[in-house]
């Protein structure tokens, strides 16, 4: 008995298919909303400028630049949100964060301006001292027989009395910016008294002027 083999049996298809990925064209990158990136950058710069007064002098130009960057950050963030609503391109959360940071930067700068305005007197020298000012001034007088004391800025003088004592009479002042001609004088309350009068001016803990006399003592200093 013979077994016939089937003729023209077709070969089963191979499970492996040649890759055609090399024939596929590269897809273009998704569109980006560049307004969001610009907005967040401007907001961060504005916020950094607004924080400068915390670590150093509150320069007027720095605060102006902080406000300018903050306002531009809001403008670009608004443009990014408008583009997102119209086209759906980008991430609106970035624009929202940029608006929050920009508003915070502008608010901080305006707060620094308001604070400087509230603490600024007619001469800029605050007597008595104001908490938060960067520079401190101490007027000091000793008089064994008592003395009349005049102190302050040359354009803003105060009068006080130093009682007969070896203990020092003191008064403190403060200022932020500006140039001042500080004066401190103590003169004898009576010409018949034997007196020793000593005055001194101290700026930020450093004695800048001192004088001693029997009838009058005068201390002056230019600061700023």
What pLDDT, on the 0 to 100 scale, is given for residue 33?
67
pLDDT digits (tens, 9 = 90+) for 57-114: 556 778 888 889 999 999 988 888 888 888 877 677 888 888 899 999 898 888 887 7
Summarised one tens digit per residue, pLDDT across range 155-207 is: 888 999 888 877 889 999 998 878 899 999 998 877 667 788 999 999 999 99
> Do 104 and 146 belong together in one domain?
no
User: Do 153 and 113 have their domain in common?
Assistant: no
Give the model's pLDDT for residue 121: 46
Q: Which of 118, 151, 167 is the last residue of a domain?
A: 118
On whether residue 176 sits in a domain, the answer given is yes
Q: Is residue 139 part of a domain?
A: yes
> The domain that contains 183 carries what CATH number?
2.60.60.40
Q: Tell me, yes or no, whether 149 and 101 share the same domain.
A: no
216-223 sheet: strands from edge to edge? 156-162, 147-153, 180-188, 216-223
Domain count, the chain: 2
The DSSP secondary structure of 187-210, one letter per residue, reads EES-TTS---EEEEEEETTEEEEE
Does residue 165 lie in a domain region?
A: yes
| Residue-wise DSSP of 107-171 | HHHHHHHHHHHHT--SSS-BSS--TT-SEEEEEEEEESS-EEEEEEETTEEEEEEE-SEEEEEEE
pLDDT tens by residue, 105-155: 898 888 887 776 655 544 578 888 888 788 999 999 998 888 899 999 888
Domain range spanning residue 102?
A: 33-118
Q: Please indicate, yes or no, if residue 4 is contained in any of the structural domains.
A: no
Q: Which of 118, 143, 164 is the last residue of a domain?
A: 118
- Partners of 153 in beta bridges: 156, 182
Mean pLDDT score of the chain: 80
Same-domain status, 86 and 153: no
In contact, 188 and 141? CB cutoff 8 Å: no
Question: Would you say residue 190 lies in a domain?
Answer: yes
């Amino acid at each position: 008995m013979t077994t016939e083999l089937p003729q023209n049996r077709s070969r089963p298809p191979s499970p492996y298919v040649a890759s055609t990925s090399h024939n596929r064209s590269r897809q273009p990158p998704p569109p980006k909303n560049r307004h969001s990136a610009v907005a967040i950058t401007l907001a961060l710069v504005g916020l950094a400028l607004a924080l400068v007064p915390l670590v150093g002098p509150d320069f007027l130009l720095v605060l102006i630049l902080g406000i300018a960057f903050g306002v531009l950050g809001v403008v670009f963030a608004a443009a990014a949100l408008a583009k997102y609503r119209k086209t759906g391109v980008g991430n609106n959360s970035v624009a929202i964060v940029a608006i929050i940071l920009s508003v915070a930067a502008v608010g901080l700068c305006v707060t620094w301006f308001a604070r400087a305005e509230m603490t600024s007197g007619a001469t800029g020298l605050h007597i008595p001292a104001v908490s938060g000012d960067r520079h401190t001034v101490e007027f000091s007088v000793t008089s064994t027989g008592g003395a009349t004391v005049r102190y302050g800025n040359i354009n803003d003088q105060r009068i006080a009395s130093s009682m007969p004592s070896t203990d020092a009479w003191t008064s403190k002042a403060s200022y932020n910016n500006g140039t001042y001609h500080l004066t401190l004088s103590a003169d004898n309350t009576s010409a018949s008294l034997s007196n020793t009068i000593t005055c001194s001016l101290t700026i930020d803990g450093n004695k800048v002027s001192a004088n001693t006399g029997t009838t009058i003592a005068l201390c002056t200093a230019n600061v700023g």
